[in-house]
Structure 1
Amino acid sequence: MSESTEIQDPSVPRKALRTVTPGSKTRPDMEMDSIGWAVFLGLVVLLVPLLPFIAIVWGLSKVLEFLARQRGA
Structure 2
Amino acid sequence: MSTEIDTQDGGDDPGLVTKAYRTVTPGYTSHGDDEMNAIGWAVFLGMLVLLFPLLPFVVVVWGVSKVIEAVTGDTGSQE
For the aligned pair, the TM-score class normalised by the smaller chain equals 0.5 to 0.7
Change (3 A) 1:35 1:18: farther
1:63 aligned residue (57, 67, 72): 67
- Number of equivalenced pairs: 60
SS in 2 for 1:66: helix
Q: Which runs of 4+ in 1 moved over 3 A?
A: 10-13, 17-23
Give the structure 1 partner of residue 51 of structure 2.
47
TM-score normalised by L of structure 1:
0.60
- CA distance in 1 between counterparts of 2:62 and 2:29 reads 48
Alignment of structure 1 residues 1-73 onto 2, 5 Å: 10=13, 12-13=15-16, 23-69=27-73
1:39 alignment partner AA: V
Root-mean-square deviation (CA, aligned residues, Å) is 2.8
The gaps in structure 1 that reach 5 residues or longer are 1-9
Cα shift at 1:31:
1.8
- CA distance in 2 between counterparts of 1:11 and 1:64 reads 63
TM-score normalised by L of structure 2:
0.57
Cα shift at 1:47:
2.1
Percent sequence identity over aligned pairs: 49
